[in-house]
Structure 1
Amino acid sequence: MGFTMYVPTKILFGQGALDNLHKEDCLGVNAMIVLSNGVSAKKYGYLDKVEEQLSLAKVNYAVFDKVQANPLKDTVMEGAKFCRENKCDFIVALGGGSVIDSAKAIAVMAVNDGDLWDYIASGTGKGQPITNKPLPIVSISTTAGTGSEADAGCVITNPETNEKVGLKTPDIFPVLCVEDINLQKSVPPKFTAYQGFDALSHSLEGYISKFANLMSDMYAITAIENVGRYLARAVNNGNDLEAREHVAFGNILSGTVMCVGTTSSQHSLEHALSAYHPELPHGAGLIMLSRAYFGNIIKHNVCPERFIQMAKAMGMENATKAEDFLTVLEKLLEECHVADLKMSDYGITPDEFPKMADNAMGPMGGLFACDRVQLTKEDCIAIYQQSYK
Structure 2
Amino acid sequence: MSNLDRPISMVRPGLIEFGTGVAERLGTWAESKGFRRVLVISDAFNASRTDVLGLTGEVTVYGDVKAEPDTGDLDCVLSAAEGARADLIVGFGGGSAMDLAKLVAVLSGSSQRLADVVGAGKVAGPREIALAQVPTTSGTGSEAGIRALVTDPETKAKLAVESIHMLADIAVIDPALTFTVPPKVTAATGVDAMAHCVEAFTNRKAHPAVDIYAIEGVRLVGRYLARAVHDGKDAEARAGLSLASLYGGYCLGPVNTAGGHALAYPLGTRWHVAHGAANALIFPHVLAFNTPAVPEKTSAVLEALGLSASQEIKSVFDAAHEFCASLGIEMKLRQLGVLANDLGTMADDAFAIRRLLDNNPRDLSRADILAIYEAAF
Check if 1:54 corresponds to 2:55. Answer: yes
User: AA paired with 1:295?
Assistant: A
Q: State the shift of 1:47 in Å.
A: 1.4
Report if the CA contact (8 A) 2:125-2:165 is conserved.
no
- Aligned residue for 1:124? none
The reply to whether residue 39 of structure 1 matches residue 45 of structure 2 is yes
Structure 1 pair 235–9 and aligned structure 2 pair: CA distance change class (3 A)? farther
- The correspondence of residues 157-196 of structure 1 with structure 2, limited to 5 A, is 157-196=151-190
- Percent of paired sites with the same residue: 27
Rounded to whole Å, the distance in 2 between the matches of 1:275 and 1:171 is 26
Q: 1:378 to 1:242 in 2, by over 3 A?
A: same
Instruction: Name the residue aligned to 2:36.
Output: 29
Give the drift of 1:189.
Answer: 0.3
AA matched with 2:348: D
1:7 partnered with 2:19: no
User: What's the CA shift for 1:111?
Assistant: 2.4
1:341 maps to 331
* 4+ runs deviating over 3 angstroms: 320-328
C-alpha deviations, 1:216-250, integer Å up to 9, x for none?
11110010000122101101110111111101101
Any gaps of 5 or more consecutive residues in structure 2? Answer: none
Q: Post-superposition shift, 1:329?
A: 2.0
Contact 2:117 2:123 in 1 (8 A): yes
1:210 to 204, 208, 232: 204
Correspondence for 2:221 among 204, 207, 227 = 227
- Does 1:133 pair with 2:126? yes
> What is aligned with 1:262?
256
* CA gap 1:160/1:356 in 2 versus in 1, 3 angstroms: same
The equivalent residue for 1:355 is: 345
Q: What do residues 246-275 of structure 1 show as CA deviations (whole Å, max 9, x unaligned)?
A: 011010001001122221021111112211
The CA deviation at 1:40 is 4.6
The alpha carbon displacement at 1:294 in A equals: 1.6
Deviation at 1:283, TM superposition (A): 1.0
8 Å Cα contact 2:121-2:162 kept in structure 1: no
Q: CA RMSD in A?
A: 1.9
Instruction: Report Cα offsets for 1:273-307 as digits up to 9, x if no partner.
Output: 211122x1011111221222222122xx2211101
- Residues 1:14 and 1:102: Cα distance change in structure 2 (over 3 Å): same
Inter-partner Cα distance in structure 2 for 1:384 and 1:334: 17
Alignment of 1:378 with 2:352, yes or no, is no
What amino acid is the match of 2:22?
A: A
Contact 1:155 1:165 (8 Å CA) reproduced: yes
Please give the secondary structure, in 1, of the residue aligned with 2:151. Answer: strand
Contact 1:215 1:260 in 2 (8 A): no
Q: 1:26 to 1:357 in 2, by over 3 A?
A: farther
- Measure the CA separation in 2 of the matches of 1:163 and 1:327: 31
Q: How many angstroms does 1:348 deviate by?
A: 1.3
The residue type equivalent to 1:226 in the other structure is L
Structure 1 residues 109 and 207: alpha-carbon distance in aligned structure 2, compared to 1, 3 A threshold: same
**Equivalents in 2 of 1:10, 1:62: separation in Å?**
23
State whether residues 77 and 106 of structure 1, in contact with CA within 8 Å, keep that contact through their aligned partners in structure 2: no
Displacement of 1:332 after TM fit? Answer: 2.1
Deviation of 1:81 after TM superposition, in Å, equals 1.8
* SS of alignment partner, residue 54 of structure 1: coil
Residue 325 of structure 1: how far off its partner (Å): 4.2
C-alpha contact (below 8 Å) 2:298/2:310 kept by paired residues: no
CA spacing shift, 1:232–1:308, aligned 2, 3 Å: same
**What is residue 67 of structure 2 aligned with on the other side?**
69
CA distance in 2 between counterparts of 1:273 and 1:163 reads 11
- Distance, in Å, in 2 between the alignment partners of 1:40 and 1:82 is 17
In the alignment, structure 1 residue 19 sits paired with structure 2 residue 17: no
Out of 289, 294, 305, the position equivalent to 2:287 is 294
Amino acid at match of 1:330: H
**TM-superposed deviation, 1:113:** 3.0
Q: C-alpha distance in 1, partners of 2:121/2:362?
A: 32
Between the aligned partners of 1:40 and 1:30, the Cα distance in structure 2 is 19
One-letter amino acid matched to 1:351: N
**1:321 matched residue in structure 2:** 311
1:89 corresponds to which residue?
A: 87
Name the structure 2 match of 1:247: 241
Higher mean C-alpha displacement, 2-11 vs 246-255: 2-11
CA deviation digits over 1:131-162, x for unaligned, max 9? 35333211111110000011111111111221
The DSSP-based 3-state class of the residue aligned with 2:40 is strand
Any idea what SS the aligned residue of 1:370 has? coil
Q: 1:13 to 1:63 in 2, by over 3 A?
A: same
CA distance in 2, matches of 1:303, 1:128: 31
Select 1:368's aligned residue among 357, 369, 374.
357
Q: Is contact 1:206–1:264 with CA below 8 Å preserved after alignment? A: yes
Counterparts of 1:295 and 1:128, CA distance in 2 = 34
- Partner of 1:348, secondary structure, is coil
Instruction: Measure, in 2, the Cα distance between the counterparts of 1:129 and 1:12.
Output: 29
Whole-Å Cα distance in 1 between the matches of residues 115 and 260 of structure 2? 24
Answer whether contact 1:205 1:264 (CA < 8 A) is retained.
yes
* Structure 1 position 41, deviation (Å): 4.3
- Equivalent position amino acid for 1:341 in 2: M
TM normalised by structure 1 equals: 0.90
CA distance in 2, matches of 1:322, 1:229: 24
